[in-house]
Amino acid sequence: MSTIMLVFIWALLISAFLCLYRIAMGPTPPDRTVGIDILGTIVVGFCAFMSLYTGKDYYMNIGISWALLSFIGTVALAKFLERRSFDE
Amino acid sequence: MSETIGYIMITVGVLFDVLGCVGLVRLPDVYNRLQAATKCVTLGTCLILFGVAVMGFGSGQNAMAVKSLICAAFVLITSPTGAHALARGSHKAGVPLWQGSVIDQYQEYEETKS
């Protein structure tokens, strides 16, 4: 059972590094923003997985707050890309 | 029994996550990347969270399971909203489509509106 846990951890780490590649190499700013958004969602999955692995439930609190903060950051970056002011 | 179901759901979810990130790297322009990555990663993360919920209810850790369901609801609400705002923002910012794209209905809608 520990082996399959290790395989899951490495798969999620590889996905996070693919997102980091897109953030580093993205030719336009929206590409980098897509990478940041997807990286946030993968970190939420990783928090759920760590909660299962250690048996502690407070990792899920980190996941919930990370999901909400990542959403706020994505929407703020999208409004910035659209060149609108923030009080519109 | 619940442990087996949970492990199957987590395995499928991790597979969807990895394939979505491969799509994020391999596809040609920002709209294709958004399409592949957002849908695959939302489904994969929600499957991981539902699998954790099933295993938590099965092993008596109810706090973990309920928080995982709440987190799945948040991801299901916020991820498509963020992707929609991002696609609209990048279209308004003038990011060009891939040269093999055949249709741009948002552009046609903007032209008929004005």
- Stated pTM of the model: 0.88
- How far does the CA of residue A3 sit from the closest CA of chain B (Å)? 13
Residue B62 in tokens: 């109810």
pLDDT band for A80, please (50, 70, 90 cuts): confident
- Of B33 and A87, the one with more pLDDT: B33
Task: Please list every residue in chain A whose beta carbon sits closer than 8 Å to the beta carbon of residue B15.
Answer: 11
Q: Which of A11, A30, A34 has its CB closest to that of B18?
A: A11
Predicted pLDDT at B113:
82
Q: Which residues of chain B have pLDDT under 70?
A: none
Give yes or no for residue A84 having a pLDDT over 80. Answer: no
Residue of B nearest to A67 (CA): B75
> What pLDDT score does A52 carry?
86
Confidence tier at A85 by pLDDT (50, 70, 90) = low
**What is the distance of C-alpha B23 from the center of its chain?**
12
- Enumerate the residues of chain B whose CB falls inside 8 A of the CB of residue A11: 14-15, 17-18
d(CA B48, CA B53) in angstroms, rounded, equals 9
Number of A/B CB contacts below 8 angstroms equals: 156
Residue A88: pLDDT band by 50, 70, 90 thresholds? Answer: low
Residue A1 has pLDDT above 80, yes or no: no
pLDDT of res. B99: 84
Residue B65 phi, psi dihedral angles, 5° rounding: -70, -45
Whose CA is closest to A24, among A39, A10, A35, A9? Answer: A35
Given pLDDT bands bounded at 50, 70 and 90, which one contains residue A24? very high
Query: How large is the greatest C-alpha to C-alpha distance in chain B, in angstroms?
Result: 59
Residue of B nearest to A66 (CA): B71
Torsion of CA A47, B34, B10, A20, to 10 degrees: -50
pLDDT at B68: 92
The predicted-structure confidence for A25-64, as pLDDT tens digits, reads as follows 878 888 898 999 999 999 999 998 888 888 888 899 999 9
Domains of chain B, by residue range, sit at: 2-113
Nearest residue on chain A to B72, alpha-carbon basis = A64
Domain B2-113 annotated CATH 1.10.287: yes
What ranges do the domains of chain A cover?
3-81
A34 closest CB neighbour out of B18, B33, B63: B33
CA distance A87 to chain B (A): 16
